[in-house]
Amino acid sequence: MNREKSETKEGAEYRFQYAAKFLCTTNIPGTSQTTTSVLPGVYQTGLNIHNPNDQTVRWRRKISQPGLGFSKFINDQLKSDEAARVDCEQIQGDFGPFIHGVEGFLVIESTQSLDVTAVYTAGKSGGEVESIAVEQIRERKIR
């Protein structure tokens, strides 16, 4: 994989990175929506991103999929104390279309430290949520 230069147009460096596993898929054995990645059911991921800083933070996101490589970055920003959400619908809109769902890593890079939390839900096909997990995504410095 090629390493893309981590700078904004204005020269502010992307110094922090977060990599969150995401699942946006349904596994229905015996159909075209069969996968060996997870047990039968419906899986959804939502990520919450919060800017705890006193200034606007520039951030960008891409997805990386096993065996398929990575997408281009989509740029964004958050004002002080603002929050954003990236869920399966947005991943589908930003990086899709994905006919039978998608899984991989959502990679976020930012100019300042952010709060990034993932919410994972799962349930039976056509049913309600049966499990939920909330995970704080670890930050790493890239510059």
pTM beyond 0.85: yes
In the chain, domain spans: 16-137
Give residue-wise pLDDT tens across range 8-47.
Answer: 454 469 999 999 999 999 888 888 777 777 888 999 999 9
Torsion sign over Cα 36, 38, 43, 49: negative
In terms of CATH, what superfamily is 16-137? TM1070-like (2.60.290.11)
pLDDT tens digits, 71-107: 999 999 999 999 999 999 999 999 999 988 899 999 9
- State the number of CA atoms in the 13 A half-sphere of 85 facing the CB: 6
